[in-house]
Structure 1
């Protein structure tokens, strides 16, 4: 297949591009800059200049491809609500271009939308009472599904880890380094699911090859890792003490990240594995932290 990938030069998207090409697919990647275009060409992909706010470029990519993986999202949290609405508009634009087509569209969402006392399963829809603007992504995807578009949703966990990670775990490491202590909230028993970057890429490929319209997939290799274990691994890596912080002190220590430090969103990937044959092979988040590369430099 000729597959259009948004976010194709990002941490996850670049791994998706390599995974698709290694499996025999051809790729056209959305490129915001000359450097991004050059990176895609070097990886063996075709570059299409544009970005997720350039809706014409998204429609063009859809028209050029046999299937689409939407892996782009702007993680600038200073304008998070705006970025979520931009994602909604991007999905709507691609949906317009897919009207009357059977082409598959895989939309990326997040397991972190959920808060539950049980492991979230794939059949669960996004929480209708969620206050986070991030629900815009799944709302837009479900609207396409209701219109008969061949759209599925792939939910990533809070930690997609591996070399070159610049997500939540490096943020935690930065806080611990600045504060001289690696902390967790309360007892640290809240859990984060996690997945290695290469395993996430493999699931994107399987979702576009074998996926079903309306399906939801969970890229959760580690279905739940205690936050205290993450904090302790960071403490070992930085050689700083590890301490629990009462909930009322979390904001002072973590700043704007306090919400994420307290996030509890265990997730099952049993249905995903059964439906797609996904078999994650990468190391766990804790093993990846203990490997040492997160603390280099």
Structure 2
């Protein structure tokens, strides 16, 4: 299979590229810089220059592919980050790729997140974001991709856990560690019983490959290894490795402590992977989040 990958040099995307190449697939990765192009070439992939602001240019890269993994998203965690604008740009890319693939029965995997789902219960692959929620704006992009199944595209959505962890991670857990260093303690909100799903990077990459190879059209998939890790357990291991206390803060104090990350630090958002395992034959084999943290590489 010839696979076109956006986000191909990111933390997840670079692992997906490696997974695909090792499985015998050909890969063309989107690169917006010379450094990204060099990294893809070194990995053994072909390069398509462009970025998410040029959907028409991406469509040219998609035209010769047998499948597409759209893993890129405009992430900018600064105080000026415009989430709605990033979602709008993402939707334009999904629509442009969908137009090229329409009627082909080719695979199209997009990335989404389990953090968008209903808090307070274990979400399954059949659940969707509450329409009034903050995450609903990105969930509409997922809906658009899933709807392509009715237009002859074998589309699916890979919902990644809020923590996709492993060596080189600069996501939420890395940010929590930096915040703990800066504030002098590792915090959790309330009693810290709220749960975060997590998945190791290698397991997430294998899920994307399997989705490209065999996911049924119109399926939502959960890249979930740990169904739900209590947030206080994450804070405890961070505190222990940094030789700092782990302690509770109130929900009102969370924005001052966590910054924008307060939007998710207190969420109870466990998620199941039962249907994903059934549909793909996927079984997580990497270490869980706490085990990965205990290895110490996050604190080097």
Looking at structure 2, the residues matched to 94 and 58 of structure 1 have their Cα atoms a distance apart, in angstroms, of 7
Give the C-alpha shift of residue 74 in structure 1.
1.7
The CA deviation string for residues 170-195 of structure 1, in whole angstroms up to 9 with x for no partner, is: 11111100000000000001100000
| Contact 1:85–1:136 (Cα < 8 Å) also in 2 | no
Tell whether the 8 Å contact from 2:8 to 2:31 is kept in structure 1 after alignment: yes
Hey, what's the Cα distance between the residues in 1 that align with 2:44 and 2:110? 23
Which consecutive residues of structure 2, in runs of 5 or more, have no partner in the other structure? none
2: CA distance, partners of 1:131 / 1:18: 33
The SS at the match of 1:109 is strand
Confirm whether residue 121 of structure 1 aligns to residue 124 of structure 2. Answer: yes
Report the TM-score, using the length of structure 2 for normalisation: 0.96
| CA deviation map 1:5-61 (0-9, x unaligned) | 110000000000000000010100001011111110100000000111111221112
- Of the three residues 263, 266, 275, the one matched with 1:262 is 266
1:234 matched residue in structure 2: 238
Contact kept in structure 2, 1:158 and 1:192, CA below 8 Å: yes
Tell me if 1:168 matches 2:161: no
> Whole-Å Cα distance in 1 between the matches of residues 275 and 133 of structure 2?
24
**Residues in 1 aligned to 2:194 and 2:172: alpha-carbon distance in whole angstroms:** 15
Q: Determine the C-alpha separation between the residues in 1 that align with 2:101 and 2:188.
A: 45
Distance in 2 (CA, whole Å) between partners of 1:131 and 1:235 is: 30
Q: State the distance in 2 between where 1:125 and 1:188 align.
A: 25
Aligned to 1:87: 90
Q: Where does structure 1 lack aligned partners over 5 or more consecutive residues?
A: none
Is 2:103–2:151's contact at 8 Å kept on the other side of the alignment?
A: no
Task: Report the equivalent of 2:32.
Answer: 32
Identify which range, 59-68 or 115-124, moves more after superposition: 115-124
Matching of residue 21 in structure 1 with residue 15 in structure 2: no
What number of residue pairs does the alignment pair up?
Answer: 296
Q: CA deviation at 1:128?
A: 2.2
Instruction: Report the equivalent of 2:190.
Output: 186
* TM-score normalised according to structure 1 size: 0.97
Q: Please state if 1:105 is matched with 2:108.
A: yes
CA shift for structure 1 position 138: 1.3
Work out whether residues 121 and 268 of structure 2, in 8 Å CA contact, stay in contact via their aligned partners in 1. Answer: no
C-alpha displacement at 1:248, in angstroms? 1.6
The question of whether the paired residues in 2 share the 8 Å contact of 1:121 and 1:268 is answered with: yes
1:275 aligns with 2:242: no
Q: Distance in 2 between matches of 1:144 and 1:127?
A: 21
Shift of residue 79 of structure 1?
2.1
The CA distance in 2 between the partners of 1:98 and 1:91, in whole Å, is 10
3-state DSSP class of the match of 2:199?
strand
**How far is the alpha carbon of 1:146 from its aligned partner?**
4.0
Q: Any conservation in 2 of the 1:126–1:138 contact (CA below 8 Å)?
A: no
Distance in structure 2 (CA, Å) of the matches to 1:117 and 1:261:
14
Find the counterpart in structure 2 of residue 145 from structure 1.
149
Q: Which is further off, 7-16 or 258-267? A: 258-267
Distance 2:24 2:86 in 1: 33
